[in-house]
Amino acid sequence: MPGYLSRVLRSAGPILDAVNLEFSGEMWFWKGPAPWHFVTVPDEECADLHETSAFVTYGWAMLPVAARIGETEWTTSWWPKDGRYIVPVKSWVRQAAGLDVGDLVTVRLVVGA
């Protein structure tokens, strides 16, 4: 997988240079069979991602990203949902940043990381 992703990122070239995002959103909880906490990417940033997604997706429109909330960094993937993207926030990240459902969160992302 890393070799494939590296080739895709190199072929995308300058398109990916501009895909570093920072946005704020509310932390929310999904109670499905595998519960997760998420932050939804705002509409404007989602529009930019749709143009780039074909260059970096590894399938199912999932986009690999390096994420940062406060001083905590991790790698994850944006998930498509209802025409937008959502960022899953791992439990250890929430604990390190002292976050809970309903909190306004500032997220920094680098697409294709």
Q: Delineate the domains of the chain, giving CATH numbers in brackets.
A: 2-111 (2.40.30.100)
From residue 97, give the alpha-carbon distance in Å to each of 15, 41, 90.
Answer: 32, 19, 11
pLDDT (mean) for 32-49: 82
pLDDT digits (tens, 9 = 90+) for 49-91: 666 555 555 555 567 788 999 999 999 888 888 888 899 999 9
pLDDT digits (tens, 9 = 90+) for 20-35: 889 999 999 998 887 8
Report the alpha-carbon distance of residue 31 to residue 37 in Å, rounded: 9
pTM, two decimals, is: 0.71
> Is pLDDT at 104 greater than 50 in this prediction?
yes
Range in 42-51, 68-77, 93-102 with the lowest mean pLDDT: 42-51
